[in-house]
Amino acid sequence: MATNLATSKLDGILEKATEEVPLGREELLLLLGLSDEEDLSKVYETARFLRTRYFKDRVFIYGFVYFSTYCRNECAFCLYRKSNRSLVRYRKTDLEIMETALSLVESGVHLLDLTMGEDPFYFDNRESGFEHLIRTVEHIKKSTDIPIMISAGVVSVQILRKFKESGVDWYATYQETHNQDLYRKLRLGQSYDERMERKKLAQKMGFLIEEGLLTGVGDTNEDLVNSLEEMKKLGADQLRVMSFVPQKDTPMQNFLYVPRSRELLIIAVMRLVFPDCLIPASLDVDGLNGLAERLNSGANVVTSIIPPQSGLAGVSNHSLDIEDGNRTVSKIIPVLKDCGLVSASREEYAEWILQRH
């Protein structure tokens, strides 16, 4: 009897989501609290149904260029935090960035995500530090016309403006959580408001924006519902969640493990709440093996394509699947096919961006 009541409640919520009636807090909490396999598959099925409504069977693919692993910050979860001396860092030259960018475009990605730590080489030299990067972006744009995302941390307003002028389409900075106490423990010494305000400003300036969550870092279901509400207010165009991957020699290396099913459920709930948004399935967490389950939860973008032999790293998994070429377009196409999906054309992605603007 109790089960039947719970089942009909879940069915009612999914019906509402299908009709795109906004879900309330209690309903979202109920979804995030599900653990029964049958219930979960219903949620994933609804998420896929909504994805199909807006994107048919088309998936977008993002190339990832982590061009500098130096960072002035001390995020507790991140391998690349300033005080971590246990890794060899690199800073790629303009030419190397350009070559990697071109090879990624050639391989069939729809966007290039240019990412770095908050590298002092760029940040301490004020505007001139970014000068070369901006020229490189202009070059890439001129020769390929590929959409570009910048994930360079909290850059100054002037630099943001220059990125806009050089043709950058997306600005990505993730709060990780919208619980400010938790934020303080994760992004040590960084202002919550500044990060959020810069994102909003970028949006005003005409960038598309991405917001992101980390899960498995002490976030509660209440926190997640708050995040969904904040994301709704923000009106981000792309929304992501990634599971925390513990990093050796960092403060959170022994943090309690949270099963991946949590990330999958959050992806699905994001799809129910934001049916027309872009939601990544990142290869950075579990590599190629983790792709199908993320797509089957309702994701519609594959991110973190990295060419082998480029000497480039990932973020949450700095080397997983890179050198063996598993983070390439050709390796993910069969996985898409198994999930009943195909890669979109470049025109389709350009159209989505245009319509979103």
- Which parts of this chain interact with ligand MD0 (CB under 6 A)? 64, 113, 115, 151, 172, 280, 282, 284, 303-304, 314-315
- Asked if residue 50 lies in contact with residue 275, where contact means CB atoms within 8 angstroms, the answer is yes
Regarding 73 and contact with ligand SF4 (CB under 6 A), the answer is yes
User: Closest CB to ligand MD0 among 49 and 90?
Assistant: 90
Q: How far is the CB of 49 from ligand MD0 (least distance, A)?
A: 25
282 binds, among ligand SAM, ligand SF4, ligand MD0, none (CB under 5 to 8 A by kind): ligand MD0
- Asked if residue 202 lies in contact with residue 171, where contact means CB atoms within 8 angstroms, the answer is yes
Beta-strand relationship, 170-172 and 148-151: parallel
Which of 100, 136, 166, 173 forms a contact with ligand SAM (CB under 6 A)? 173
Which of 71, 137, 236, 268 forms a contact with ligand SF4 (CB under 6 A)? 71
Which one of the spans 34-42, 131-139, 170-178, 265-273 is the region binding ligand SAM (CB under 6 A)?
170-178
- Asked if residue 141 lies in contact with residue 94, where contact means CB atoms within 8 angstroms, the answer is no
Query: What tokens does 120 get?
Result: 């002092």
The Cβ of residue 239 has, within 10 Å, a number of other Cβ atoms equal to: 26
Which of 42, 51, 81, 346 forms a contact with ligand SF4 (CB under 6 A)? 81
User: Closest CB to ligand MD0 among 14 and 114?
Assistant: 114
User: Closest CB to ligand SAM among 17 and 116?
Assistant: 116
Regarding 217 and contact with ligand SF4 (CB under 6 A), the answer is no
* Three-point CA angle 70, 74, 75, nearest 5°: 105
User: Closest CB to ligand SAM among 123 and 352?
Assistant: 123
Site string for ligand SAM, 49-88 (x = CB under 6 A): ----------------------------xx----------
Regarding 218 and contact with ligand SAM (CB under 6 A), the answer is no
d(Cα 124, Cα 39) in Å, to the nearest integer?
51
d(Cα 133, Cα 152) in Å, to the nearest integer?
11
Which of 80, 130, 170, 207 forms a contact with ligand SF4 (CB under 6 A)? 80
Q: What is the CA radius of gyration of the chain?
A: 20
Closest CA to 156 of 145, 167, 148, 164: 164
166 binds, among ligand SAM, ligand SF4, ligand MD0, none (CB under 5 to 8 A by kind): none
81 binds, among ligand SAM, ligand MD0, ligand SF4, none (CB under 5 to 8 A by kind): ligand SF4
Q: How far is the CB of 272 from ligand SAM (least distance, A)?
A: 22
Regarding 290 and contact with ligand SAM (CB under 6 A), the answer is no
User: Closest CB to ligand SAM among 43 and 186?
Assistant: 186
Site string for ligand SF4, 82-121 (x = CB under 6 A): -----------------------------------xx---
Where along the sequence are the contacts to ligand SAM (CB under 6 A)? 77-78, 115, 117-118, 151, 153, 173-174, 176, 212, 214, 242, 244-245, 247, 315-316
